Amino acid sequence: MTLARRIADRIRAGGPITVAAFMEAAMQDPEDGYYRRGDPLGRSGDFVTAPEVSQMFGELIGLWCVEGWLAAGSPSPIRLVELGPGRGTLMADALRATARVPGFHAALRLHLVESSPGLRRRQAALLAAAGPQWHERLEDVPADPLWLVANEFLDALPVHQLVRTADGWAERAVTLAPDGGFAFADILPAPPDLVPDRDLPPGTVVERRPAAEALAAAIARRIAAAGGRALLVDYGYDAGAGDTLQAVGRHGRVPVLEAPGTVDLSAHVAFADIAAAVRAAGAAAWGPVPQGRFLRSLGIAERAERLAAARPDARATLAAALHRLIGAGAMGTLFKVLAITPEGAPPPAGFAAAAPGAAP
């Protein structure tokens, strides 16, 4: 039976399910979830993540980790964790760029949090030399100083949508339409713990991501207790973007409810909520800063120039990749970067102008 049929049966039996529950099933159903079948990045050929655009992205993130590791006194051992490593490209580039840093590779133990069996196989092929261990959840990684990176991970976690109706806050749910397809329904009242603490005009949609906030808090608690740094990169906004849920298939955007399990569902990350969860858990949140500004301050333009000097035939490709990663209107402004450090740590590279704990 298809995943859509099984979700429909669930709604018939138990009533409408929240948008978050629909998203969880669509992405993580053990048999047919989007991230459980094969290589989803290969299937949806029309979305390309930053590490797949250019090696420069992973290289600079590797050097970002080293900068924080040196600033923290070169602790050993450290847990180098990537959440949702995709094809393993970011980590492969990061490890190559840091191979000559004395002591860094000897100190790190590599842990990959990945739910997709197909992507685990691809990561194994690329990263075998580093002896990675795989986990379903961050909780399974031993508690040592933590160096954690995640690119486009939070945006795949389930999102709840709250809708301000004339009668108060409702939670957006998924029900069955008369034609047997799926349709949205707003259910009153919304769970009080998800309702915004400020009133907003009727018609407003607010997205909340308790799973992402809990994950950010767990990262923050580890860093506060044992030291470390984390870097979270994602599609995102500072505050108040409304309904950002989208579905992307091989041919671009498709209706959100149309084909659960076969298209990528994601919603932009509310970084203000993530930063608040980090601070409440006792660590410092830096930024978010736009990805373009972050990469520029790490020296991406200089790196592109050196690569182009070594391979003049690739100059145009490199220039295009550079624009895609840092350009306004491209990933440079659509994506944001948030860093987590222990309280009192110096500004991490790329965040010198961002005050820790300042409202993002």
Ligand X SMILES: C[S@@+](CC[C@H](N)C(=O)[O-])C[C@H]1O[C@@H](n2cnc3c(N)ncnc32)[C@H](O)[C@@H]1O
Q: Taking each helix axis as running N to C, give the angle between helix 315-326 and helix 300-310, from 0 to 180 degrees, rounded to the nearest 10.
A: 170
Q: Of residues 16, 62, 68, 84, which one binds ligand X by CB under 6 A?
A: 84
Nearest residue (CB) to ligand X, 169 versus 235: 235
Number of residues that bind ligand X (CB under 6 A): 19
User: Which residues, 106 to 125, sit near ligand X by CB under 6 A?
Assistant: 113-116, 119
Q: How far is the CB of 276 from ligand X (least distance, A)?
A: 22
Cis status, amide bond into 40, omega within 30 of 0: no
Instruction: Using CB positions, name the residue nearest to ligand X.
Output: 84
Q: Of residues 68, 86, 332, 342, which one binds ligand X by CB under 6 A?
A: 86
Nearest residue (CB) to ligand X, 26 versus 72: 26
Nearest residue (CB) to ligand X, 12 versus 133: 133
Q: How far is the CB of 209 from ligand X (least distance, A)?
A: 12
Pairing type for strands 246-249 and 78-83 reads unpaired
Q: What angle do CA 34, 38, 42 make, to 5 degrees?
A: 85
Distance CA 208, CA 196 (A): 9
Nearest residue (CB) to ligand X, 56 versus 190: 56
Q: Does 33 bind ligand X (CB under 6 A)?
A: no
User: Which residues, 128 to 187, sit near ligand X by CB under 6 A?
Assistant: 151-153, 156
Q: How far is the CB of 28 from ligand X (least distance, A)?
A: 6
For residue 338, what are its two tokens?
């948030």
Distance CA 153, CA 243 (A): 19
**Which x/- pattern over 45-64 shows residues binding ligand X (rule: CB under 6 A)?**
----x-xx------------
Which residue pairs from 123-127 have beta carbons closer than 8 angstroms and sit at least 24 positions apart in sequence? 123/85, 123/86, 123/87, 123/88, 123/91, 125/88, 126/87, 126/88, 126/89, 126/91, 126/92, 127/88, 127/91, 127/92, 127/95
**Which x/- pattern over 281-310 shows residues binding ligand X (rule: CB under 6 A)?**
------------------------------
| Interface contacts to ligand X, rule CB under 6 A | 27-28, 35, 49, 51-52, 84-86, 90, 113-116, 119, 151-153, 156
